[in-house]
């Protein structure tokens, strides 16, 4: 509570420092060339010296304070009545914390009431100590910054370096997060593979984690039907739709469409790419799937299911069209104009030029685009959750319901879950496989694109 | 004795509202090399591209007036631009071989026009075109190598071979040596000199020395106008127009 106020106070102090330093620098400014840096930069320099060290102190104190508070509360005589069991004790502490913040909160453990008061006292004490430390740091930083305001001080250089650091931090953030995700995936998947053999997981054909108890555990975690469903829906059915349509629309847009048509159609295609996948999902489930079920019935299928690989795959294909189209568009546009000119000048028609010169020349880029599209399709979740079904089935019948890796991950991680059961942990193993496959596809695709770019530069 | 191959009468070329070529009339003869010279942006390449309707590929380009090939209007509705371009070949500024093998680069045109009845026919066409382009000896053992793997000068000769392979009547060359070193340039110029026996050749060039070396007739363009057209020897030694004289003596351009 106190620390939140301190945080705002630090920011406010930084603002004050900014104005103070700028005003001071303006007094020193006597004309063009009289100072190395403009007054604004001195303002920023000062503000940074106030805010950055103080916020580091703030973050550090926020991290260690709860531990200090807890140890003080535990030493309090009121805590003597707490049960020795660590889990129970943590629950009481959590309640006491709620009480300390809001005395009217409902309580289940009476002990929480008894330690709430010492807890609040400790929080206040340590909060004030923290505020004092942070204030000292902020004022020390500010004072140091203020003494450096001199005409020849290179405030601009320092500020720019700080901005550079900030930018570096921002770019590292995404990378570090990725590493964090990979590490957690690896860790949880490792837990899973302690119970289930990786070979059984990767080659088994029977998937029913719900039945996995006791010794036959390996037999129920065969993920091959999931991989098959994923590939069948995402890489086969969806691509049968997306590749021809995407490619043809790219050819039309780059080669035949007038400027006016292109100006309209291209943004519309891009809007299509921005539709939330959940919208495609219910389109697949409510509109396409029934049509396909009826179609299956007219084909004479005994008992066509409402959920089908075909429904999910078709809609996913439509969803991917703009993606394939824009990648193919880029690849075709990257082929130098001189190439098609050369062909046209030989008396080739436009369609001969496209078929025999442009497409072969753009092929690597198109292939890369398709690979990226596949990696998107197999990672797609909403459509398959809503339209593909839950049955882990090894079948080539597009009217059958099928399940995918992403669908199973959602299944395992929603609702009640125990984090030590192989059933839940299997989600992480599946996630790891999906991650590796898409990573490999993306790396190959990016390399192909890079090679292709080099060829025409 | 030469005969007129291409005739332009009062030709204007527009890019959108901008007039790039203003009322140009010129006769281009068979069996000789005609050079178009002039400062950058004077319209000489634009005019060249209107001779095989390559300007059709530019969205807002428009040509008015008359251009006759053997007395036939190439902008007439009955004229198929695809058939026209097979008769009037073109070589571009930057060598632009297709990303295919050397053989396939040359065979491309004959194949789309159905000029070869058999594989042996095609082999003969490819060999003859490469020979005429002076490239056969250099590439005969590696016809399946990529055309793009050749040196710049070889690539340009490959593009000339590609143009010759469809047996055109006119070859248009748009600054064919501007991307090449002097040795490769000399080879191309030698080749142009040999080829003129069988084709009407039009070459756009920035280099006045090149125009003087390879051409028999020279046309000087300035700001979209054809300023002077005549025997190359006349233009370079005794120009009638002051502008021509200023340009060839390097006063501007």
Residue B172 lies in a domain: yes
Phi, psi for B39 (deg, rounded to 5): -65, 165
Of the listed ranges A107-121, A153-167, A192-206, A278-292, the one predicted with least confidence? A107-121
Whether A402 shows a pLDDT value over 70: the answer reads yes
Q: Which residue of B has its CA nearest to A348?
A: B82
Residues B134-160 have pLDDT tens digits of: 899 999 999 999 888 899 999 999 999
Q: How large is the average pLDDT for residues A19-34?
A: 86
Residues A218-254 have pLDDT tens digits of: 788 888 999 999 999 999 999 999 999 999 999 999 8
Number of domains in chain B: 1
Residue B127 lies in a domain: no
Structure-block tokens of residue A310 = 């075909």
Task: Identify which has the larger pLDDT, A106 or A187.
Answer: A187
Q: Which residue of B has its CA nearest to A337?
A: B96
Q: Using a CB-CB distance cutoff of 8 angstroms, which residues of chain A are in contact with residue B74?
A: none
CB of B105 closer than 8 Å to CB of B160: no
Of the listed ranges A64-68, A120-124, A143-147, A301-305, the one predicted with least confidence? A301-305
A118 membership: H or E segment, kind and range = helix A110-147
What's chain B's Rg over C-alpha atoms?
Answer: 18
ipTM of the complex: 0.89
B124 part of contact set with chain A, CB < 8 Å: no
How distant is the Cα of A361 from the closest Cα of chain B, in angstroms? 6
Q: Using a CB-CB distance cutoff of 8 angstroms, which residues of chain B are in contact with residue A352?
A: 112
The pLDDT value recorded for residue A456 is: 64
The pLDDT value recorded for residue B207 is: 87
A191 part of contact set with chain B, CB < 8 Å: no
Structure-block tokens of residue A217 = 């555990």
Q: How confident is the model at residue B189 (pLDDT cuts 50, 70, 90)?
A: very high
Q: Which residue of A has its CA nearest to B58?
A: A341
Q: How large is the average pLDDT for residues A10-30?
A: 90
Testing the interface with A: which of B51, B58, B82, B113 to mutate, by most A Cβ within 10 A?
A: B82
CB contact under 8 A, A348 and B83: no
The pLDDT value recorded for residue A110 is: 74
Q: Which residue of A has its CA nearest to B95?
A: A338
For A296-447, strand residue ranges (E) read none
Phi, psi for B179 (deg, rounded to 5): -100, 10
Residue B120 lies in a domain: no
B82 part of contact set with chain A, CB < 8 Å: yes
What one-character-per-residue DSSP string does B42-111 give?
Answer: SSHHHHHHHTTTGGGGSTTEEEEEEEEETTEETTSTT--HHHHHHHEEEE-SS----SSBHHHHHHHHHH
Residue B187 lies in a domain: yes
How distant is the Cα of B79 from the closest Cα of chain A, in angstroms? 13
B201 membership: H or E segment, kind and range = strand B200-204
Of the listed ranges A83-97, B146-160, B164-178, the one predicted with least confidence? A83-97
DSSP label of B32: S
When CB atoms are compared, the residue of B82, B96, B97 closest to A347 is B82
Q: Using a CB-CB distance cutoff of 8 angstroms, which residues of chain A are in contact with residue B53?
A: none
CB contact under 8 A, A341 and B57: yes
Q: How large is the average pLDDT for residues A82-91?
A: 74
The pLDDT value recorded for residue A296 is: 86
The pLDDT value recorded for residue A315 is: 93
Residues A366-401 have pLDDT tens digits of: 988 899 899 989 988 888 888 888 888 888 888 888
A346 part of contact set with chain B, CB < 8 Å: yes
B61 part of contact set with chain A, CB < 8 Å: no
Q: Which residue of A has its CA nearest to B80?
A: A347
A260 part of contact set with chain B, CB < 8 Å: no
Residue B240 lies in a domain: yes
The pLDDT value recorded for residue B1 is: 47
Structure-block tokens of residue B22 = 């203003």
Residue B116 lies in a domain: no
> Rounded distance, CA A116 to CA A441, Å?
55
Q: Using a CB-CB distance cutoff of 8 angstroms, which residues of chain B are in contact with residue A262?
A: none
Q: How large is the average pLDDT for residues A131-149?
A: 91
Task: Give the strands of the sheet with B4-15, arranged side by side.
Answer: B18-29, B4-15, B61-69, B72-73
Structure-block tokens of residue A4 = 């939140």
How distant is the Cα of A360 from the closest Cα of chain B, in angstroms? 8
Phi, psi for B33 (deg, rounded to 5): -105, 125
A14 membership: H or E segment, kind and range = helix A2-28
Whether A304 shows a pLDDT value over 90: the answer reads no
Q: How large is the average pLDDT for residues A182-186?
A: 92
B99 part of contact set with chain A, CB < 8 Å: yes
Whether A78 shows a pLDDT value over 90: the answer reads no
CB contact under 8 A, B98 and A346: no
CB contact under 8 A, B54 and A348: no
The pLDDT value recorded for residue A390 is: 80
Structure-block tokens of residue A64 = 């260690």
Residue B114 lies in a domain: no
CB of A424 closer than 8 Å to CB of A418: yes
When CB atoms are compared, the residue of A341, A346, A356 closest to B166 is A346
Q: How large is the average pLDDT for residues B161-186?
A: 91
When CB atoms are compared, the residue of A259, A345, A360 closest to B89 is A345
For A286-419, strand residue ranges (E) read none
The pLDDT value recorded for residue A454 is: 66
Structural domains of chain A, with CATH: 2-153 (no CATH), 209-456 (1.10.3720.10)
CB contact under 8 A, A346 and B54: no
DSSP label of B29: E
Residue B74 lies in a domain: yes
B114 part of contact set with chain A, CB < 8 Å: no
Q: Using a CB-CB distance cutoff of 8 angstroms, which residues of chain A are in contact with residue B51?
A: none
- pTM for this structure? 0.74
Looking up residue B185, the CATH number of its domain turns out to be 3.40.50.300
Domain that holds residue B89: 4-97+151-248
| Residue with the two structure tokens 């390559």 | B54
Q: How large is the average pLDDT for residues A134-155?
A: 90
- What are the residues facing B15 on neighbouring strands? B18, B61
Q: Using a CB-CB distance cutoff of 8 angstroms, which residues of chain B are in contact with residue A347?
A: 82-87, 109, 112-113, 166
When CB atoms are compared, the residue of A338, A349, A352 closest to B92 is A338
Whether A457 shows a pLDDT value over 60: the answer reads no
Each residue of A269-288: b (16+ CB within 10 Å) or e?
beeeeeeebeebbebbbeeb
| Residue with the two structure tokens 């070979």 | A199
How many Å from the N-terminal Cα to the C-terminal Cα in chain B?
34
Q: Which residue of B has its CA nearest to A350?
A: B82
Whether A205 shows a pLDDT value over 70: the answer reads yes
Q: Which residue of A has its CA nearest to B83?
A: A347
In Å, how far from its chain's centre is CA A237? Answer: 26
Q: Which of A350, A367, A347, A380 is nearest to A445 (CA)?
A: A367
How many Å from the N-terminal Cα to the C-terminal Cα in chain A?
59
Q: Which of A163, A221, A155, A202 is nearest to A412 (CA)?
A: A221
The pLDDT value recorded for residue A171 is: 92
A56 membership: H or E segment, kind and range = helix A39-75
CB of A385 closer than 8 Å to CB of A209: no
Q: How confident is the model at residue A39 (pLDDT cuts 50, 70, 90)?
A: confident
Q: How large is the average pLDDT for residues A277-297?
A: 89
The CA-CA-CA angle for residues B133, B134, B137, to 5°, reads 130
Whether A421 shows a pLDDT value over 50: the answer reads yes
């Amino acid at each position: 509570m106190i620390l939140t106020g301190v945080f705002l106070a630090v920011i406010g102090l930084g603002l004050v420092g900014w104005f103070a330093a700028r005003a001071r620098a303006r007094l020193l400014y006597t004309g063009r060339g009289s100072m190395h840096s403009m007054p604004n930069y001195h303002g920023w320099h000062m503000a940074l010296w106030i805010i950055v060290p103080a916020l580091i102190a703030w973050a550090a104190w926020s991290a260690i304070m709860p531990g200090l508070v807890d140890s003080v509360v535990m030493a309090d005589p009121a805590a003597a009545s707490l049960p020795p069991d660590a889990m129970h004790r943590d629950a009481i502490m959590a309640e006491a914390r709620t009480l300390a913040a809001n005395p009217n909160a409902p309580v289940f453990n009476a002990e929480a009431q008894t330690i709430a008061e010492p807890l609040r006292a400790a929080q206040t004490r340590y909060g004030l100590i923290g505020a004092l430390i942070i204030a000292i740091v902020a004022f020390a930083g500010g004072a140091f910054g203020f003494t450096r305001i001199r005409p020849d001080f290179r405030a601009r250089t320092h500020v720019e370096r700080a901005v550079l650091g900030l930018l570096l931090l921002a770019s590292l953030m995404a990378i570090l997060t990725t590493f964090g995700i990979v590490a957690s995936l690896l860790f949880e998947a490792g837990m899973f593979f302690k119970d289930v053999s990786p070979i059984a997981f990767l080659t088994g054909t029977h998937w029913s984690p719900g039945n996995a108890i006791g010794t036959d555990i390996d037999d129920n975690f065969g993920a091959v039907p999931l991989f098959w469903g994923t590939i069948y829906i995402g890489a086969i059915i969806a691509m049968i739709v997306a590749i021809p349509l995407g490619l043809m629309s790219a050819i039309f847009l780059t080669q035949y469409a007038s400027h006016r048509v292109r100006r309209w159609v291209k943004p519309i295609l891009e809007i299509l790419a921005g539709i939330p996948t959940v919208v495609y999902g219910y389109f697949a489930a409510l509109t396409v799937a029934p049509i396909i079920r009826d179609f299956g019935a007219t084909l004479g299928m005994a008992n066509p299911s409402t959920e089908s690989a075909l429904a999910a795959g078709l809609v996913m294909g439509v969803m991917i069209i703009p993606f394939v189209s824009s990648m193919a568009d880029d690849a075709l546009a990257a082929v130098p104009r001189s190439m098609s000119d050369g062909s046209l000048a030989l008396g080739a028609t436009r369609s001969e030029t496209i078929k025999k010169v442009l497409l072969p020349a753009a092929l690597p880029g198109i292939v890369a685009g398709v690979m990226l599209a596949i990696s998107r399709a197999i990672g797609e979740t909403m459509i398959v959750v809503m339209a593909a079904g839950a049955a882990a089935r090894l079948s080539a019948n597009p009217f059958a319901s099928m399940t995918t890796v992403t669908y199973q991950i959602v299944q395992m991680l929603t609702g009640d879950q125990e984090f030590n059961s192989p059933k839940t942990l299997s989600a992480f193993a599946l996630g790891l496989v999906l991650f590796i496959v898409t990573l490999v596809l993306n790396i190959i695709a990016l390399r192909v694109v890079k090679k292709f770019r080099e060829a025409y530069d | 004795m030469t005969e007129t191959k291409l005739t332009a009468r009062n030709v204007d070329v527009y890019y959108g509202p901008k007039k790039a070529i203003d009322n140009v009339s010129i006769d281009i003869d068979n069996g000789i090399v005609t050079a178009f010279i002039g400062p950058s942006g004077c319209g000489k390449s634009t005019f060249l591209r209107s001779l095989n309707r390559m300007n059709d590929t530019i969205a807002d380009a428009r040509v008015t007036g008359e251009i006759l090939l053997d007395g036939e209007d190439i902008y007439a509705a009955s004229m198929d631009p695809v058939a026209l371009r097979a008769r009037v070949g073109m070589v571009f500024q930057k060598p632009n071989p297709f990303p295919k093998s050397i053989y396939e680069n040359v065979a491309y045109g004959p194949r789309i026009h159905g000029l070869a009845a058999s594989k042996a026919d095609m082999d003969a066409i490819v060999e003859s075109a490469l020979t005429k382009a002076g490239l056969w000896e250099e590439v005969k053992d590696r016809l399946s190598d990529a055309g793009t793997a050749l040196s710049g000068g070889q690539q340009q000769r490959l593009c000339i071979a590609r143009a010759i392979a469809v047996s055109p009547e006119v070859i248009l060359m748009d600054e064919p040596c501007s991307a090449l070193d002097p040795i490769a340039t000399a080879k191309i110029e030698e080749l142009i000199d040999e080829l003129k026996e069988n084709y009407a050749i039009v070459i756009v060039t920035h280099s006045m020395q090149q125009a003087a070396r390879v051409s028999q007739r020279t046309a000087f363009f300035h700001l979209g106008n054809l300023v002077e057209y005549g025997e190359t020897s006349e233009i370079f030694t005794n120009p009638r127009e002051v502008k021509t004289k200023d340009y060839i003596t390097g006063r501007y351009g």
